[in-house]
Chains A and B, each alone.
Chain A
Amino acid sequence: MSHHYLHFNSVSFTYPDGTKALSEVSFEMHHGERIGLIGANGAGKSTLLQLLAGFLVAQSGSIDLGGLKITPSTIAEVRRTLGFVFQDADDQLFMPTVFEDVAFGPANLGVEEPELTPLVMNTLNRTGIAHLAHRPPYHLSGGQKRAAAIATVLASTPSMLVLDEPANALDPMARRRIIEQLRGFTHSQLIASHDLDLVLDLCHRVVVLHEGKVAAVAPPMTVFKNKELLEHCGLLPPLRMQELPPEGPQLKVVEGHHHEAALHHHTAEK
């Protein structure tokens, strides 16, 4: 297996309106590693992902992916290596059926029949949505759309996955399924998310961005235990690490309601 890794080397980017989005950002990612990219809104996460996908070009510094420097001339090659899952699955799914959407990437890379159909079906099986192959994407649920969006990039057999808010707007079961799926992939993964519980579940290391700069690169537990750092970066620890009040509100199911489980605060009844 090639030693693919990602290397951000003093990358800076300023938007044409003068907004400095990234400043001297440096970090490395090793092959097979899952890195969480966290930070408050406006910290520079989206800009960083756009630079990685080649939608924006860094004004200074360099980004290497698998030993290949990302420049406008290498971007086609880079995109063969990179699977980018967008925040809004509706932006990612644009073909008439899920099958055609999943086939789009490999077909662009020159995969033709008779290899194309088995590749697509295999990918759909891996993501558990083979039964949705001939459904129009807009008829799918949020979780199914997300799984289809992931399938669309997996079909191009990338070495690295870049996921922007992979659990965004998913119900707990769908969120759990996506986490299990991502954990099952051997790809290097860069996951930008506000869902710190997901980051804690999945990632080996965390890159904390604050006002366009790297505030910390460390294992999730180390970062999330550092209250001072989190506060400085406008973040809160994952829900499961937050201390519950010793006598928090207690809930009980009110009997006699057959159609709706009515929950009332125990204290409110007193």
Chain B
Amino acid sequence: MSRLSSTIDGWRSFDSFAAEGLISGLDPRTIILSALCTVIAMTGAGKGEVMVLLPLAAFPLTLLVLADIPPMWLVKRILPVLPFALMIGLLNPWLEQGTVTLPGGAEISTGWFTLASITLRALISAATALLLIASVGLLNISRGLAGLRVPALFITQLQMLFRYFFVIGEEFQRMERAWRLRSGSRRGRMPLKLAAQLLQNLFLRSLARAGRIHNAMLARGFSGEVPAGAPLHWRLRDTVWLAGWAGFALLCHSNLPMLLGTLLTGQPQ
């Protein structure tokens, strides 16, 4: 199996952790709202903030532990985000004029903090989004969104987009396998011209397949909305969870490390 094919296979089992772990006992709305609190706290942090962002990594880490997801599973999936984040902030250490004096007395550009902040935001956001789907499951997220009065059209779009990704993936796997079997001595990299032709064919094939899947859905009474399933129940533990994370996000927004420093030393930091 090629690396890309095995990657697609890996993504197919994306929300398979949803049935396991402690997270499955919580109302999906709780997790969505607490993730939202984390994201809001993150976006509210200043441009070069690093210390404010670091504690926010606690949220995805908690999801990881409670949903019993192997850490390497997450690492493999968020690493592709890293080059994009670095690309955005890579020039900041040279472009930014300001300097910061480190405890040892050395001076460095504020751009390094901006770069670290951008990278941290990207990693925490990606980890939160991935772990949200992995630990709660797309179907439960949809139920949660419906419970939060998000328009049905948006929810259906989200579900279809998620499924269409796998339709494309499956079609790609078949085509790639067919090419590999007949590629003779040209093993390894696919020629660019051929890749372009396959891409064109891939979209036609996946469109036809998506049409057949849509027909299968129509044949079973689909009328534009995926049924929400069992009604949701908000319990005390949901309130405790949400209040806890909302409070934590608020503390982080108010620079938790600085507050702790003040609290511990008795002196304003």
Interface residues of A, Cβ cutoff 8 Å to B: 53-55, 76, 79-80, 82, 84, 86, 88, 90-92, 94-96, 100, 103-105, 107-109, 112-113, 116, 134, 136, 138, 152-153, 156
Contacts and interface: CB of A to CB of B under 8 A. Distances in A.
B170 A90 contact: yes
Contacts of B170: 90
B230 A104 contact: no
Interface residues of B, number: 28
A109 B212 contact: no
A104 B220 contact: yes
8 contacts: A53-B215, A79-B218, A79-B219, A84-B216, A91-B215, A104-B217, A108-B227, A153-B220
B219 A82 contact: yes
Contacts of A112: 230-231
A95 B212 contact: no
A86 B221 contact: no
Interface stretch (B12-20, B122-130, B243-251): B12-20
Given A55-B215, A91-B216, 20 more contacts: A53-B215, A53-B218, A55-B218, A80-B221, A84-B220, A91-B212, A92-B216, A96-B18, A96-B138, A96-B139, A104-B217, A104-B220, A104-B222, A107-B227, A108-B222, A112-B230, A112-B231, A113-B229, A113-B231, A156-B220
A95 B209 CA distance: 15
B223 A91 contact: no
Contact of A152 (B209, B215, B220): B220
A112 B221 CA distance: 15
B221 A94 contact: no
A202 B215 CA distance: 27
A104 B219 contact: no
B213 interface: yes
B27 to A, nearest CB: 15
A107 B229 contact: yes
A127 to B, nearest CB: 16
Nearest to B14: A96
B137 A108 contact: no
Interface string B147-178: 00000000000000001000000100000000
A79 B221 contact: yes
A94 to B, nearest CB: 5
Question: Which 5 A-B pairs have CB atoms at the shortest separation, nearest pair first?
Answer: A108-B221, A107-B227, A105-B220, A84-B219, A91-B212
A88 B217 contact: no
A103 B219 contact: no
A86 B137 CA distance: 27
A109 B219 CA distance: 11
Contacts of A134: 19
B6 to A, nearest CB: 14
B52 to A, nearest CB: 36
Contact of A96 (B137, B215, B219): B137
A88 B212 contact: yes
Interface in B1-52: 12-13, 15-16, 18-19
